[in-house]
Amino acid sequence: MRVLIVEDEPNLRQQLSNTLEGAGYAVDLASDGEEGHFLGSTEQYDAIILDLGLPEVDGLTVLDRWRREGKATPVLVLTARDSWSDKVAGLDAGADDYVAKPFQTEELIARLRALIRRASGNASAELTAGDIRLDTRSGKVTKAGDPVKLTAQEYKLLSYLLHHKGKVVSRTELIEHIYDQDFDRDSNTIEVFVTRIRKKLGADVITTIRGLGYSLDEPDAPPAA
């Protein structure tokens, strides 16, 4: 999953980046509203963390522009403002949730996970396909109850496909959502990671749709006796 952080305070911006990367997210950073608006308008993100008190262009204006442009990416607003009217203004401008500074990092990540799940139509923190389970809270993956060790990139790819279970996801979409802005997008590593996941979870866990991409579906139920 790929997240944009738009925050002008350098220490907080880096702290959030380190925390989210440690939790398995690909992260892009912007330090002002102008840069944040540009990235949010031109890149593909699963969620955006947006500070309201930004230089150049304030967060409410950035958010309003995204929504007017038709961008439906979930946005979690950060604000140091105590006034309820500012929180209402953020929600009315199109925010999906907010966290007031100072905040606990664990709460922010939990809210972010929830936004991403809801946006992809998943209510539970556990994503499943047959006997495969991925716990978005702990980052653990199991098959038939047995733990499976995945690399960071394998986990990101599996997580994205599970969030979009039943849909065909193109190679380009996978690259846009599991790597940050600086990744070499001509790389063929997606195919490598799919092969590795199949070896660990089963050859039929991910289906290749020739010319279109990949799909992860619920396995067919066994025939009735």
**CATH code (residue 197):** 1.10.10.10
Structure confidence at residue 81 (pLDDT)? 62
Structure confidence at residue 150 (pLDDT)? 93
pLDDT averaged over every residue in the chain: 88
For the residues 199-220, what does the mean pLDDT come to? 88
Render pLDDT for 183-204 as a digit per residue (tens, 0 to 9): 666 567 889 999 999 999 999 8
Least trusted range by pLDDT, from 53-57, 66-70, 82-86, 133-137: 82-86
Give the CATH number for residue 92: 3.40.50.2300
Render pLDDT for 107-119 as a digit per residue (tens, 0 to 9): 999 999 899 988 8
Number of domains present in the structure of the chain = 2
Q: Which of 220, 152, 219 is closest to 189 using CA atoms?
A: 152
Q: Which residues contact 120 (CB under 8 A, 6 or more apart)?
A: 163, 164
For the residues 60-75, what does the mean pLDDT come to? 94
Structure confidence at residue 91 (pLDDT)? 84
Domain boundary (64, 89, 119) is at: 119
Pairing of the two strands 26-30 and 2-6: parallel
CB 180 within 8 A of CB 44: no
Structure confidence at residue 80 (pLDDT)? 73
Domain boundary (119, 142, 171) is at: 119
Identify whether residues 75 and 18 lie together within a single domain.
Answer: yes
Identify whether residues 85 and 159 lie together within a single domain.
Answer: no
Q: Is residue 180 helix, strand or coil?
A: coil
Identify whether residues 53 and 135 lie together within a single domain.
Answer: no
Identify whether residues 81 and 161 lie together within a single domain.
Answer: no
At 199, give phi and psi (nearest 5°). -65, -35
DSSP letters for 135-162: ETTTTEEEETTEEE---HHHHHHHHHHH
Least trusted range by pLDDT, from 76-85, 94-103, 127-136, 152-161: 76-85
Domain boundary (78, 93, 119) is at: 119
CB 71 within 8 A of CB 63: no
**pTM for the structure as a whole:** 0.79
Query: Does any domain span residue 222?
Result: no
Structure confidence at residue 92 (pLDDT)? 86
Identify whether residues 134 and 108 lie together within a single domain.
Answer: no
pLDDT band at 82 (very low <50, low <70, confident <90, very high): low
